[in-house]
Structure 1
């Protein structure tokens, strides 16, 4: 098994030599080296997660949207929530027509089943099949458990630092993509 290598694209000297994006004249070299290592490790993590996802998709013969749907259905099953095609369409950000075609394909492949909705006789619910649930647990769940083990090995203070870093990174990236969330400021006041 070949291990994922640490990507080199995160070297600021290579990716931003003119310091157009990140002025760094006042940042000590050891701080820059450590930050570049964090960025490289995040890149390696994304690459490993992509390999895991592609492996699971190939094994289960599903595409990325199918896998997102399956994950949502598994989560709903664990929480006792009935999922309608409309709910699934909203979760995936696709049209109801697209989700209907996807469900038809997943039903034909034995991945999901349609059932009568437990409380709304006019509606149907979609559930993940037992075989697909087990396959997803084996293909993805065991990898997720490894991340849990690493987090468990950290002290509470270390986990707080990781949480702060990941949450801050997510917020900064989301802001760079969509702009600040206007509701976030109101909620924090």
Structure 2
């Protein structure tokens, strides 16, 4: 999938408002030159390629470790907590994943059955348990996900401080677009 095997047939453009929104119903382009619009579309296409690469990497890691996405996220959280000296508990995992504690119990049952975690007594709270990732799973996660993150770190480290600031502000602003504007609380369907 990807650059090696491009799709056959006509190329369908996914992010160019000149083609997808010619009447400017959604994207207002007044004041932007064709060159500026092309640069914006180039960034949007780069973001699409990044999402696709991220999805492919995530799927490959899941296949390698024979786990689902939520299970992988839970393991990454528990590994990060262990490295930082934080006791990973079912309630912390539930909070991080944004799921119920009942769902986390089922998730932890699967992970324990697969030999990925151990449930241990909590060191300071006898009403809770501590979740510990097994050495084998930690090594497998490091081999699959850790190396990719290290390469990403290197790419970001190669940027100048100003470029890193620009990229960080860009992603923060992009993340903020996920929240509907206060006057548009009903979402796109309301229009």
Out of 164, 178, 181, the position equivalent to 1:174 is 178
- Alignment pair present for 1:66 and 2:71: yes
Match of 2:9 in 1: none
Shift of residue 2 of structure 1? Answer: 5.0
Out of 25, 30, 43, the position equivalent to 1:25 is 30
- Alignment pair present for 1:9 and 2:8: no
Change (3 A) 1:8 1:130: farther
Query: Where in structure 2 are there 5+ consecutive unaligned residues?
Result: 7-11, 184-191
Deviations 1:35-93 (A, max 9, x none): 11001101110100000000000111111110110111011011101111122112212
Shift of residue 12 of structure 1? Answer: 1.5
Out of 151, 157, 181, the position equivalent to 2:162 is 157
Aligned length: 177
Shift of residue 96 of structure 1? Answer: 1.5
CA distance in 2, matches of 1:143, 1:8: 29
Question: What is the DSSP-based 3-state SS (H/G/I as helix, E as strand, rest coil) of the residue aligned with 2:178?
Answer: helix
Match of 1:184 in 2: none
Q: Which runs of 4+ in 1 moved over 6 A?
A: none
- Alignment pair present for 1:89 and 2:76: no
Query: Where in structure 1 are there 5+ consecutive unaligned residues?
Result: 181-189
Question: What is the DSSP-based 3-state SS (H/G/I as helix, E as strand, rest coil) of the residue aligned with 1:24?
Answer: coil
Relative contact order higher in (CA < 8 Å, ≥ 6 apart)? 1
TM-score (norm 2): 0.86
Describe how 1:102-141 pairs up with structure 2 within 5 A.
102-141=107-146
Change (3 A) 1:18 1:162: same
CA distance in 1, matches of 2:182, 2:154: 35
Name the one with the larger helix percent: 1
Instruction: Tell whether the 8 Å contact from 1:8 to 1:40 is kept in structure 2 after alignment.
Output: no
